Structure 1
Amino acid sequence: MKRSDINRIIREGEAFMRSHGYVLPPFSRMSPVEMTERRQEIANITGAGLGWDITDFGLGDFEKTGLFLFTTRNGRIEDLKQGRGMLYAEKAMISRKDQLTPMHKHVFKTEDIINRGGGTLVLELFGDTDGICDRDKGTTVACDGILRTIAPGEKLSLVPGESVTLVPGDWHGFWAEGGDVFVAEVSTVNDDNTDNYFENPAVSRFSGIEEDEAPVHLLVSDYGPWLR
């Protein structure tokens, strides 16, 4: 992705979330220079992978296949292993109209996907067999606490206010219909480096960046090269 496109997407995304009454935390406004100067002070932020995350999943067409994310809080895997401490994570996301988040699963994370406003969020769901997306197998999920059996590939539509709980092994892809959707994710500890398994091996979690202009804000994937 071009850095200029990422900068534009960040501005548009923040404005969209504000239109739904959601304001990002103060560290979202830090410039790259400020983050560099305060890198020791903000080690908990960068170490937990909090912040901006714009991805085209390595496919080069954000409008068709992509997602806007901002991680607001996240614990550590070590916390979960000990069963104490910060065992949870939260993300604010934007799924654009007809923009696909590709079919994937997690082997560790359980997550609630919540439609906070906008259009309809549509999920396609499959079960898992021996670690592979089984397109002949469905699953059972909780939608706002009510169990629902989903046939293989059945489309689950969430209007504003509705949510679904996905457990490890639930294969899912999603997109917005009728308009962009402000999505919230509340989950157990999130590890985007190791806990995303995509059905299509050509898909990657993070995007390469063409530096055609200076970044307005650093992405989570920038922290290593910019702040080490």
Structure 2
Amino acid sequence: MRIHRNKATALISGSILMAASMAVQAAPVACINGGVNDTYSASANGAYADACHYFASNIADSSVITAHTNGLWGSPGNDFTYVGKDSEAGEISGIELMVSGSDDEFKYLYQLIVPQAWEGTTVDWVLGVKQASNSYTSYLFEDVTLGIDGGFNSFWLNPQGKEGNDFSFAAGFIRVVDVPVPEPGSLALLGLGLIGLRFARQHSKSA
């Protein structure tokens, strides 16, 4: 059986696109320790969370939440910085977390507003949401560009098992992602290459 080359190419391309689509549409991952939220319960710049964590006990103080966040997602010398709640300023001047109305997917929308100097910076971002039940869910987003627009739901179950969707506060944490800087030797080689290219062009014109 012979298949025309163009048809074969189309079949292969379609298969690749389907596989890529399935990879992007991975199933949501439930937050651990029970709870009713998962990685699809929050978004940042159009993407769902990479990971999430549910904590049943009451935490509210900014220093306690920061320690909790870094215990989950931080590492020595590479911790997150608290940038504030929707009702409280954080540790970096000019950064503000604002929560507003809803859309078709999320009951709450949010914005992380940053100074112009921070715009375009790539960060790891953690959104923490304290449910009205005093439980707390945090969502990790990796490699997000500032500023940030997103949404979240705040599901929780009351003692009768009835689901609610409201919250006490939202909090934010960022960690700047290191951008590799070329080593001096690499820069020197690049410079020599550009000089050689220019010399070759001049030589070809004069020939």
TM-score when normalising by structure 1: 0.22
The answer to which structure has the higher helix fraction is 2
**If the length of structure 2 is used for normalisation, what is the TM-score?**
0.24
Higher relative contact order (CA 8 A, sep 6+): 1
Higher strand share: 1
